[in-house]
Structure 1
């Protein structure tokens, strides 16, 4: 077992990589940012500010050929995720790819096979499962804190109509509210409960330019009803609520706690008794990188394996089927 830090390269100087993941790799224990692939020296500057010795490659293939890189983080547009994950695996690199790692569940089956064949760590960057807020929520649920679960409600929205060129507003890059943020309402529900949807009961979707900008859906799970919405055209809001026969568990700022607000769990029980647990300062991006590095160096099971990601994408596929249309 090696104690050397995992040496990371980033494919593309995306805004999210610049603002969140590069700093997270820089701060994470057991990780070292060593390389970036970008065609622009100007875009490389903020990354070099973190790591002056950064090796900048001017093509993605050049970074994958760099023997000093152990693992790659892929923040490319959604439609490029599978292609470059496969190329990274072929180059012998561990891979952490932004969500959604694929646009169809069947594509993740291919990645699972390649992961198993290569022995590499390959995963989707579904960061919330690493946050203590969500780990505690799952623990409370399993302990029976709210009794028999009957209803899960969630909503996640923001407004980016002023940025029509954004990849989330473009069908050719796999945009839309469901691929971008529906993964959170659906995936978090699956994470806490351990259940899979039996049926999508309704899917009301508003389309704009080939992408979904508003989606409201309901689903039947084996033991509860699910209702959630996502939008890229509404005032920012994010909340998840798990409603049981003996209590309600409400998660505030469940998806972007360091940006949207403080991560909290409100537990409503008994005679309107409310207890609140707070999780200030936890950075789920740093925790995600550290978990990934432990999997690479120590062989620890990764908290969000591709099999879990496949389950969320399978639910999204069910939504498209119910709606009778996919993005594009």
Structure 2
């Protein structure tokens, strides 16, 4: 398979630490170019990718005929516009989450994708990890019976980093957009169900950015509860509680960064089995699966239609929680 030649639109720290490295390491991918006006930031990328071309602006990268696909790690409020620009330039696009700020934005994104004939997707890496593929298969097989409740927590504390884009309203920051997508989307992915109603949403804001959210919801067959925060000690898990068992992922969202990816299944008879994936890099798997979908036309695990469902739930939570104060 011919390698997909990638360009990175912006020298974000997350791109330098994770995604650009994943593109560089992935089979069927070549890290070709980076667009940034900062030589210092570019140098950090060139340490692990010495042959990387550096372009001075984003449009120059989109105009480069040697680039097949673009990874976009820009601040949230820029995602829709630059995804559409990249598609119009004939590039495949993998854009950081949240790829949009409202469900209505997906009308624009899907229209741009379809008009271009290119693959466009949100960089929602967890669905490529074997722990989530396994969890989905176990639930579908009836390993825990009928799912009756799902609860999830994802938190970290960046209170001291006031300049961080997550703490700034002008860049569409906030905990829900940054990590709530994981607690919401994970429940949808594993169960295959869509939210019916938000029964409770307590949101706490600082500087008009949500820093704590406690959410209760109703899906067709189960209830749901989640806590998402940028002001609590780091913690994460998701549990699927059925009438015949319990399935828990103890490090579902930052696998092998926060802790080792681990799945525990307890079913009738109190039989407990645990599976671990200590060396899997879901960022690399995401890039490789994206490339396979481009090259072979295979279905992609996280199409825009899936991401739209998570954004719909996010919009419902914001509406139920009331405006920022």
In structure 1, how many angstroms separate the alpha carbons of the residues matched to 2:243 and 2:98? 33
Structure 1 position 91 matched with structure 2 position 116: no
Match 2:10 to one of 6, 9, 12: 12
Structure 1 position 113 matched with structure 2 position 111: yes
Deviation of residue 31 (structure 1)?
A: 0.1
Match of 1:205 in 2: 203
Match of 1:271 in 2: 269
Q: Secondary structure at the match of 2:294?
A: helix
Q: Secondary structure at the match of 1:50?
A: coil
Deviation of residue 272 (structure 1)?
A: 2.4
Match of 1:54 in 2: 52
In structure 2, how many angstroms separate the alpha carbons of the residues matched to 1:50 and 1:92? 28
Match of 1:306 in 2: 304
Q: Secondary structure at the match of 2:161?
A: coil
Deviation of residue 246 (structure 1)?
A: 0.4
Structure 1 position 245 matched with structure 2 position 243: yes
Match of 1:139 in 2: 137
Q: Which runs of 5+ in 1 are unaligned?
A: none
Q: Which stretch has the larger CA shift, 267-276 or 17-26?
A: 267-276
In structure 1, how many angstroms separate the alpha carbons of the residues matched to 2:159 and 2:75? 18
In structure 1, how many angstroms separate the alpha carbons of the residues matched to 2:139 and 2:112? 34
Q: CA deviation digits over 1:115-160, x for unaligned, max 9?
A: 1111100000000000000000000000001001110000000000
In structure 1, how many angstroms separate the alpha carbons of the residues matched to 2:303 and 2:146? 28
Counterpart mapping for 1:286-297 below 5 A: 286-297=284-295
Structure 1 position 74 matched with structure 2 position 72: yes
Structure 1 position 281 matched with structure 2 position 282: no
Deviation of residue 303 (structure 1)?
A: 0.8
In structure 2, how many angstroms separate the alpha carbons of the residues matched to 1:320 and 1:224? 21
Could you state the TM-score of these two structures normalised by the residue count of structure 1? 0.98
Could you state the TM-score of these two structures normalised by the residue count of structure 2? 0.99
RMSD: 0.9
Deviation of residue 268 (structure 1)?
A: 1.0
Q: CA deviation digits over 1:278-313, x for unaligned, max 9?
A: 111110000000000011111111110000000000
Q: CA deviation digits over 1:69-102, x for unaligned, max 9?
A: 1000000000000010011011111000000000
Q: Which runs of 5+ in 2 are unaligned?
A: none
Match of 1:124 in 2: 122
Match of 2:231 in 1: 233
Please identify runs of 4+ aligned residues in structure 1 that moved more than 6 A.
none
* Alpha-carbon contact 1:109-1:310 (below 8 Å) kept: no
Q: Secondary structure at the match of 1:24?
A: helix
In structure 1, how many angstroms separate the alpha carbons of the residues matched to 2:261 and 2:120? 28
Structure 1 position 155 matched with structure 2 position 153: yes
Deviation of residue 48 (structure 1)?
A: 1.2
Deviation of residue 51 (structure 1)?
A: 2.0
In structure 2, how many angstroms separate the alpha carbons of the residues matched to 1:90 and 1:271? 57
Structure 1 position 179 matched with structure 2 position 215: no
Q: CA deviation digits over 1:39-94, x for unaligned, max 9?
A: 11111012112222211111001111111110000000000000100110111110
Match of 2:255 in 1: 257
In structure 1, how many angstroms separate the alpha carbons of the residues matched to 2:271 and 2:65? 57
